[in-house]
Amino acid sequence: MSTAPAEQPSLPPRRGRPLIAWLVIVTLSAIAVGYQVYASHAADPRERGYLSELELEGRYLVGIHEIVGGPVYEQAQALNRGPYEQRLRFVVLAGELKGPGEALVQLEQLRDLWEQRPPEKEERQLTDLLEKLYRDYADQELAESLGAFERDAPDEQPPWVAKSLSEEEREQLREKLGWFGDLALAPAHGADPAARAAVLAQARRTATVLLTVSLLALALAFLGFLLLCAGVLCLILGVTRFRFARGSHDGGVYAETFALWMALYMLPMAAIKLLPWSHSRMLIMGLFGLASLSALAWPVLRGVPWRRVRQDLGWWVPGSAAVEVLWGVGCYLSVLPLVLVGLLISNGLLTIYKHFAGEDPFGVPIRASHPVGEVLLHADWWLRVQIFLAAAVFAPIIEETMFRGVLYRHLREVGVRWPRSVSVLFSALVVSFLFAVVHPQGALGVPVLMALALGFTVARELRGSLVGAMAAHGLNNGLVTVILLTMT
């Protein structure tokens, strides 16, 4: 990016065809939302990143139990619902937190549910394997309590061994249940302390990271609240001024540009997802995303000089790039209190939905999941690098250019004759809503994503440039990705 281009002489109005463009935008957005609804009911929960979140929750509970103890099993009860894939994993948590007897009780209750929804063949097999496993553990626990073994030393404990399972069946548990399978095969009194230590190390790491992040998030949210109050006061006193300049003659052309970008972005992405898995898919998708910015040639083809396009979109730096980045960081911190409010709204919406619509006892619980979570949890170093680049570099450049650059410019010109406060509020809400609904987190993710997007929009409005908005966006995505990587 360069410094701000010089002002160009006024050109004849080029209003474009914004109504047709918005018809395309709404249609493509509806298609994106429809695909998300379809994906949320897909047969394989892994397609929604659901099982990865479940694994992290399980690790957290076991890690907290190892670190501080306490009534963790009561908290784990919330996971005893949903499809058999989740309920079987809860059985493992019950065996870890309360013992093999409790695991057998949960398995018996699970079998009682078979009349309501017969399990698949694989689910039945896993149930049988877990029952044999915990039956072995329960028998050995009982024998130990009755002293039915010979002690070579006063403090000796006999190792619990899954005597009824073959090596092939053990491997099946590991493959199908992942970390939960490893946990089930490494009990506290097991014969392989090294395997037990490795499983618990993952759990303690997840719990430690989540506790640290939670405390840090609260501290940063408090700091953000102070910055937000200070920022509002500075605006009222006139110390800080908005640098976003209205008056472009080409607002309608930018609506066309955004509609064209959505088509150039969504269609190739959908095609890539249909192709066989490639180990470099995330990188390919990121490069295709960058290529979709070729839509910025549209206003030039419509007669808008490129220097004016860059100015209208915010592809310039009003001074020092480092200063713009600091503005972006400040706006990001200032919006964290709104993110907490967004989380509360999401929980409220979920409660209302359950109250009126009910909940399928065997369905995947509704939550704001991102499909990349499942990939990230078990990714190698190369895939992790790709995910980080896609989240922290490619996405901020692409999305800020198109949402806070192109679409925001169009909407601000729609309200060019409105009071600035009304125009900013209208434009920010529309852009933030569209930004949120096209993301794959689903309806419950909309309040949080809108809160973040409002922060990015404030950076755009305050500075006129997109550098701060890109910095804030990249900081958020980078932090989330690093936190997930640290937990795994």
Q: Give the per-residue pLDDT at 101.
A: 94
Residues 141 and 173 in one domain: yes
User: Which residue range is the domain that position 147 belongs to?
Assistant: 50-204
3-class SS at 227? Answer: helix
What percent helix, strand, coil does the chain show, rounded to 5? 75, 0, 25
370 inside domain: yes
Residues 93 and 17 in one domain: no
Longest dimension (CA), the chain: 97
Closest to 334 (Cα-Cα) out of 475, 175, 225? 225
Collect all residues with Cβ–Cβ distance below 8 Å to 139 and sequence separation of at least 6. none
3-class SS at 304? Answer: coil
Identify whether the C-beta of residue 367 lies closer than 8 Å to the C-beta of residue 444: yes
The DSSP annotation for 359-428 comes to --TTSPPP----THHHHHHT--HHHHHHHHHIIIIIHHHHHIIIIIIIIHHHHHHHTTTS-HHHHHHHHH
255-284 exposure pattern, b = at least 16 Cβ within 10 A, e = fewer: bbbbbbbbebbbebeeeeeeeeeeeebbbe
Residues 425 and 309 in one domain: yes
Q: Give the per-residue pLDDT at 83.
A: 87
Residues 274 and 311 in one domain: yes
pLDDT digits 0-9 by tens, 23-65: 999 999 999 888 777 766 654 555 556 778 889 999 999 999 9
Beta bridge partners of 190: 160
pTM for the model:
0.88
229 inside domain: no
441 inside domain: yes
Residues 278 and 330 in one domain: yes
270 inside domain: yes
Identify whether the C-beta of residue 92 lies closer than 8 Å to the C-beta of residue 103: yes
Residues 361 and 478 in one domain: yes
Q: Give the per-residue pLDDT at 9.
A: 46
Residues 385 and 252 in one domain: yes
Residues 419 and 342 in one domain: yes
Residues 35 and 60 in one domain: no
Residues 7 and 77 in one domain: no
228 inside domain: no
Residues 281 and 305 in one domain: yes
Q: Walk along the chain (488 residues) and give the pLDDT tens digit of each residue.
A: 555 554 444 545 556 789 999 999 999 999 988 877 776 665 455 555 677 888 999 999 999 999 987 789 999 998 898 888 899 999 999 999 999 999 999 999 999 988 888 889 999 999 999 999 999 999 988 887 776 555 555 455 678 888 899 999 999 999 999 999 999 999 988 888 999 999 999 999 999 999 999 999 999 999 999 999 999 999 889 888 888 988 888 889 999 999 999 999 988 777 777 777 677 888 888 999 999 999 999 999 999 999 999 999 999 998 899 999 999 999 999 999 999 999 999 999 888 888 787 777 777 777 777 777 777 777 788 988 999 999 999 999 999 999 999 999 999 999 888 999 999 999 999 999 999 999 988 888 999 999 999 999 999 999 999 999 999 999 999 999 999 888 87
233 inside domain: no
Beta bridge partners of 3: 317
What is the chain's alpha carbon radius of gyration, rounded to the nearest angstrom? 27
470 inside domain: yes
223 inside domain: no
Q: Give the per-residue pLDDT at 12.
A: 53
Tell me what percent of the residues of the chain surpass a pLDDT of 90.
Answer: 60
Give the separation between CA 317 and CA 331, rounded to whole angstroms: 17
Residues 160 and 14 in one domain: no
Beta bridge partners of 317: 3
Indicate the number of domains in the chain. Answer: 2
For residue 161, the surrounding DSSP H or E stretch is none
pLDDT digits 0-9 by tens, 241-300: 888 988 888 889 999 999 999 999 988 777 777 777 677 888 888 999 999 999 999 999
The tokens for 135 are 């039956």
Identify whether the C-beta of residue 56 lies closer than 8 Å to the C-beta of residue 374: no
